Amino acid sequence: MLSYRHAFHAGNYADVLKHAVIALVVDYLAQKDKPFYVHDTHAGAGRYLLGDAKAQKTGEYRDGIEKVLAAAEPPAALLPYLDVVKAMNPGELVHYPGSPWLVRQLLRPYDRLFLTELHPADLKLLQGTFERDRQVRIEQADAYETLVAKLPPKEKRGLVVMDPPYELKDDYQAVVNAIGDAYRRFATGTYIVWYPVVERARVEAMMAAFKATGIRKQLRIEHGLRPDTDQHGMTSAGVLVINPPWTLKAAMDEALPWLDKVLAKGAGQYRCQWLVEE
């Protein structure tokens, strides 16, 4: 049973970090004059209206993208992401990019984007957004089953984004298994896996499992507005990046203190560290 809808959370602090990293990686891929492929396993609706009842109900974007846009002098690392958000919102903040829209804006005419999404309502919105777009392909299919079948891409360069809702406890292990299988077929690709910190022990177990895969070059980037707790609810969120661009760590080392100042008045917690080095 699928109940998660990303519209409730679009533009929150976890989206800010995840989308800033995705935009940096795609921007990096686009610097070389060779085609690349992006495979987004959990696509969501594609883009979001912040005036929508769902976004208004939680108001999460107000403690995320709204504060970031209002703050002075964002670090260079955030610019590829913020440029896309600003281009969608020439006036006040109304629209927010999901990962598919964000990536699509950064493609050149010869790059490709492949999306899987299971929820029928979000799938419909996604299809509407990319109707007649020849660079985007969408399948209503399972994220994990489809990924391996599509790799390696013919371009031999690319990015896999895996952003599950973690509604099912099995997701934590499914993610590690799917990335391990995908990496065996496409070891030169970059992989971005998003994770929430709801229960610290569960995340650390997932990190230990990633470490145990033997995959090299795993960079962990995390930001939280509140200390870990036993209570219900997400306190931090992060991304694990496999084969990051060599520039990513320095860029995020600069961006994280700025984000923490803007989003948590400097009282949050963040890290950017190698889970596994080269």
Residues involved in catalysis: 163
The values of phi and psi at residue 165, to 5°, are: -80, -10
x/- mask, ligand SAM, residues 90-109, rule CB under 6 A, reads --------xx----------
x/- mask, ligand SAM, residues 247-266, rule CB under 6 A, reads --------------------
The least distance separating ligand SAM from the CB of residue 21, rounded to whole angstroms, comes to 11
Annotation-wise, does 278 bind a ligand? Answer: no
- The residue sitting closest to ligand SAM, measured at its beta carbon, is 98
Distance CA 251, CA 244 (A): 11
Annotation-wise, does 73 bind a ligand? Answer: no
Q: Looking at residues 153 to 172 of the shown chain, list those that interact with ligand SAM (rule: CB under 6 A).
A: 163-165
The least distance separating ligand SAM from the CB of residue 146, rounded to whole angstroms, comes to 8
x/- mask, ligand SAM, residues 26-65, rule CB under 6 A, reads ----------------xxx---------------------
Distance CA 273, CA 249 (A): 8
The least distance separating ligand SAM from the CB of residue 41, rounded to whole angstroms, comes to 6
Among residues 1 and 72, whose Cβ is nearest to ligand SAM? 1
The region that residue 228 occupies, defined by phi over 0 for left and psi between -120 and 50 for alpha, beta otherwise, is beta
Q: Is 222 in the site for ligand SAM (CB under 6 A)?
A: no
Annotation-wise, does 236 bind a ligand? Answer: no
Q: Is 121 in the site for ligand SAM (CB under 6 A)?
A: no
Tell me the site size for ligand SAM, rule CB under 6 A. 18
Among residues 234 and 253, whose Cβ is nearest to ligand SAM? 234
Annotation-wise, does 3 bind a ligand? Answer: no
Among residues 164 and 238, whose Cβ is nearest to ligand SAM? 164
Binding site listing for S-adenosyl-L-methionine: 19, 42, 99, 117, 142-143, 163
Residues near ligand SAM (CB under 6 A) are 2, 4, 6, 42-44, 98-99, 116-119, 122, 142-143, 163-165
